[in-house]
Chain A
């Protein structure tokens, strides 16, 4: 079974530039998550999709970050314009379903490491 695919693995940009990350979840997984992990910290949830609807985007800085999940499959996370503090690893994860005790294990991709200079 193919895992969660993310690209690019590494990206270096100047501040105020834009960047986009792509994620393809495991086939059949209804729920897709984007996490931001700053060096030395735990992953912080940015946005959670159930199929192509947003379940939680309370921690997404909406003035500069946007995400979409067209057709309920793959997803794109965009940052525009980037700031120095956006330097982090952006992790995508997927799970079969989410809801109460049925929120089961998350499968993570390898992440996209962003450096903003």
Chain B
């Protein structure tokens, strides 16, 4: 199964700033999902974007998908301390969903 590769590996921003992270994958997908993991906790689903969608919003989150480039991006606007976490993309091909190493985001007060 393929997995997403997130970039950058780590990101440190000031509260109120925007955070952008990218995901690349290798084969065709049915959909792509983003998850957040706070330290010592399980993963929490953030957003799902289908292969025929190009952009999706959910609160302060904006996800884009470019299937021609096999890439996706997650933008968190007006970041808060509570956004400090690891973020994982998960491309879905058929029934298989795999995770990359993630982007660790630190939001400084």
Complex alpha-carbon distance, A56 and B50, angstroms: 23
Q: Establish whether residues B51 and A45, one from each chain, have CB atoms under 8 Å apart when the complex forms.
A: no
In the bound complex, CA of A109 to CA of B43 (Å): 8
How many B residues face the partner with a CB closer than 8 A? 25
Q: Which B residues are CB-close (under 8 A) to A35? A: 99
Instruction: Output the nearest chain A residue to B3 by Cβ-Cβ distance.
Output: A42
Q: Mark A14-45, 1 if CB is under 8 A from B, else 0.
A: 00000000000000000100010000111111
Q: Find out whether the CB atom of A108 lies under 8 angstroms from the CB atom of B96.
A: no
Which residue, of A98, A105, A109, has the highest number of chain B Cβ atoms within 10 A? A105
Distance between B1 CB and nearest chain A CB, rounded to angstroms? 7
Alpha-carbon gap, A106 to B100, bound state (A): 16
Given A42-B102, A105-B48, CB of A100 within 8 Å of CB of B95: yes
Interface size on A, residues (CB 8 A): 29
> Which residue of B is nearest A98, CB measured?
B95
B101: A residues at CB distance < 8 A: 40-42
- Chain A residues contacting B45 (CB-CB under 8 Å) are 105-107
Are A99 and B42 closer than 8 Å at their CB atoms?
no
Query: In residues 44-100 of chain A, which contact B (Cβ within 8 Å)?
Result: 44-45, 48, 50, 55-56, 58, 91, 93, 98-100
Which of A35, A42, A106 has the most chain B CB atoms inside 10 A of its CB?
Answer: A42
Interface residues in chain A, defined as those with a beta carbon under 8 Å from any beta carbon in chain B: 4, 31, 35, 40-45, 48, 50, 55-56, 58, 91, 93, 98-101, 103-111
21 contacts between A and B (CB under 8 A): A4-B42, A42-B99, A42-B102, A44-B98, A45-B1, A45-B96, A45-B98, A48-B96, A56-B1, A91-B43, A98-B95, A99-B95, A100-B30, A101-B51, A103-B92, A105-B48, A106-B35, A107-B45, A108-B42, A108-B44, A110-B42
Interchain residue pairs A-B with the least CB separation, the first 10: A108-B42, A42-B99, A105-B45, A98-B95, A101-B30, A108-B43, A103-B92, A42-B101, A43-B99, A110-B42
